[in-house]
């Protein structure tokens, strides 16, 4: 499993266009990706802030999402609309969340160069203290 929370701040005046893009990415992700468990966008309480909850069957499915045609096509637009983004890997509390623990995976043998690059760039960061808390 690979689960993360994206903390997003959009540029002033970009809210409407960002929300339109978010709807498109949501639709394409759920229509075309088999490894997605959760992929949702949320408005934050502060102006121009958004969150994306992403959860995939495994880290490879997350990288497949990142390298998908719809995500790669949207990347330049995201770069234009987003002022700041921070990816935070999260770990569910078993018995208090329905998803399995987050885990890192290497790229599959024979993976293409973009997949290898994204596997390294978006490595799942599993905090040491999570391991001690898992039951």
pLDDT tens across the length of the chain (135 residues): 899 999 999 999 999 999 999 999 999 999 999 999 999 999 999 999 999 999 999 999 999 999 999 999 999 999 999 999 999 999 999 889 998 888 899 999 999 999 999 999 999 988 888 888 876
Residue 26: CA atoms inside 13 Å, Cβ hemisphere, count? 14
Tokens found for residue 90 = 């999260």
């Amino acid at each position: 499993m690979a689960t993360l929370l994206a903390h997003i701040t959009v540029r002033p005046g970009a809210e409407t266009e960002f929300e339109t893009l978010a709807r498109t990415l949501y639709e394409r992700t759920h229509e075309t990706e088999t490894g997605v468990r959760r992929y949702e966008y949320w408005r934050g309480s502060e102006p121009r802030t958004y969150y994306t909850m992403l959860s995939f069957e495994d880290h490879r499915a997350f990288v497949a999402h990142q390298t998908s045609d719809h995500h790669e096509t949207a990347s330049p637009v995201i770069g234009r609309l987003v002022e700041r983004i921070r990816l935070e890997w999260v770990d569910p509390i078993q018995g208090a969340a329905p998803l399995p623990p987050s885990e890192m995976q290497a790229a599959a043998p024979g993976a293409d160069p973009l997949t290898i690059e994204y596997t390294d760039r978006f490595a799942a960061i599993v905090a040491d203290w999570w391991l001690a808390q898992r039951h």
